[in-house]
Amino acid sequence: MDFRPTDEQQLLRRSVREFAETEIRPHVREWDEQQHFPRELVPKMAALGLLGIQFPEEYGGAGMSGVEYCICIEEIARVDPAVALSLAAHNGLCSSHIALFGTEAQKQRFLVPLARGEKVGAWGLTESTSGSDAAGMRTTAKRAGQCWVLDGSKTFTTHGRVGDIMVVMAVTDRAAGAKGISAFIVDRDTPGKTPGKKEDKLGMRASDTSEVIFENCRIPADQMLGAEGQGFVNTMQVLDAGRIGIAALSVGLAQGAYEAALAYARERKAFGKTISSFQAIQFKLADAATRIEAARLLTYRAAFMKEQGQRTTLESSMAKLYASEIAVRVAEECVQIHGGYGFVKDYPAEKYFRDVKLMTIGEGTSEIQRLVIARRLLSR
């Protein structure tokens, strides 16, 4: 067991941090206020390999390891969690689903442009009446000759409006329950696919979240992703990896909030002293730093195991649950340490506080993570 980052990992962290500080930090507030998805940033992130972090170079990716994936997501989230959410959905859901279960032809056609950052990916599982209970989806795909015809809608899709390639789960055999769900790859301009309502969100506002509607949307049969009826099982495997990304996002967000709180505590004076000299503030900082380190270790362990080809359902959920919940606490204490200035937009504290709540909801709520963890423990 060796906890030291390699020289390459340290260099990677420094370069992604520098990129985030120069290319993202100056725009964070404006993008948040305007709910602007920074498409103009995509080619710059692609040049660093951030649109294809973990995919092999032969598919246009950067060929990085699981731990390096976490470092990239963390460093972007430290500055702007909304941009990190876009990266996590693009890499960890859409592209990853195609990389794991696509045919060679599908990988060449869809994964390569995604990994190169020429196209932006979206992934639609959730519907207005089925989130945690994802297998209860209503969207259907019916076979018609050489096509599948999609009807229904997806809710809360990251990149629902701006995505070029979308992986969509739909019911192909209602009677078979979860084993009657299949996945499809849908191009942006496919007739019958239209973007619906763009959500006006509490946080993560620079990441596009929209409804996507399918009406008599004909998909060529060779765009079914994975085997017929395996869509739900494959989705669970995609989420095992995706949740490591959300854990890393939570660690990075918490790190950003902690650093903001530490800097403020060193400057702000009360009763003739900096507030960092008060033990009550020191304890908050000590708790935050300790929790972040613990969450980072859980996250890297899950990433390392995934890299070794091991099943990580338990470890991914533990990392996601713990990292997201400590991030909420760290972001809240960051606001508290800022006092009234934590409540206004001149400081980053309020944005971390708004952004962080998604971490305990997206890619499976905390309640669902506890169910997954308990199921794995009890099945041993």
Ligand X SMILES: Cc1cc2nc3c(=O)[nH]c(=O)nc-3n(C[C@H](O)[C@H](O)[C@H](O)COP(=O)(O)OP(=O)(O)OC[C@H]3O[C@@H](n4cnc5c(N)ncnc54)[C@H](O)[C@@H]3O)c2cc1C
Euclidean distance between CA atoms 311 and 377, whole angstroms = 14
CA–CA separation, 310 and 37 (whole Å): 35
Q: Map the footprint of ligand X across residues 137-166, applying CB under 6 A.
A: 156-158
**Rule CB under 6 A: is residue 131 a binding residue for ligand X?**
yes
Q: Contact letters (x/-) for ligand X, 191-230, by CB under 6 A?
A: ----------x--x----x---------------------
Tell me if 361 contacts ligand X by CB under 6 A: yes
Q: How far is the CB of 373 from ligand X (least distance, A)?
A: 13
Range list of H helices, the chain: 7-19, 28-34, 42-47, 66-79, 81-89, 96-101, 104-106, 112-116, 231-267, 279-307, 313-338, 349-356, 366-378
Per-residue contact flags (x/-) with ligand X for residues 53 to 92, judged by CB under 6 A: ------------------------------------x---
211 is catalytic: no
Is position 37 an interface residue for ligand X (rule: CB under 6 A)?
no
Number of H helices, E strands in the chain: 13, 10
Let me know how long the chain is. 380
Looking at the Cβ atoms of 20 and 249, the one nearer to ligand X is 249
Please return the burial class of 338, using the count of CB atoms within 10 Å of its CB with bins 0-12, 13-18 and 19+.
buried
Quick check: 363 binds ligand X (CB under 6 A)?
A: yes
- Rule CB under 6 A: which of 110-129 touch ligand X? 123-126
Widest CA span in the chain: 79
Burial 57-87 (b: 16+ CB within 10 A, else e): eebbbbebbbbbbbbbbbbbbbbbbbbbbbb
Of 162 and 265, which CB lies nearer to ligand X in the complex structure? 162
Tell me: does residue 362 bind ligand X (CB under 6 A).
Answer: yes
> At CA 38, angle to CA 303 and CA 322, rounded to 5?
30
Nearer to ligand X, 170 or 285 (CB): 170
Confirm or reject binding of residue 171 to ligand X (CB under 6 A): no
Q: Is 235 in the site for ligand X (CB under 6 A)?
A: no
Instruction: With residue 169 as reference, give the H or E element that holds it.
Output: strand 165-171
- Which one from 68, 74, 363, 367 is the annotated catalytic residue? 363
CB of residue 367 to ligand X, shortest distance in Å: 3
Closest approach of ligand X to the CB of residue 31, in Å: 15
- Of 186 and 288, CB closest to ligand X: 186
In sequence order, the 6+-apart residues with CB closer than 8 A to the CB of 282 are: 276
Q: Which residues bind ligand X (CB under 6 A)?
A: 89, 123-126, 131-132, 156-158, 201, 204, 209, 358, 361-365, 367-368, 371
- Active site amino acids: 363
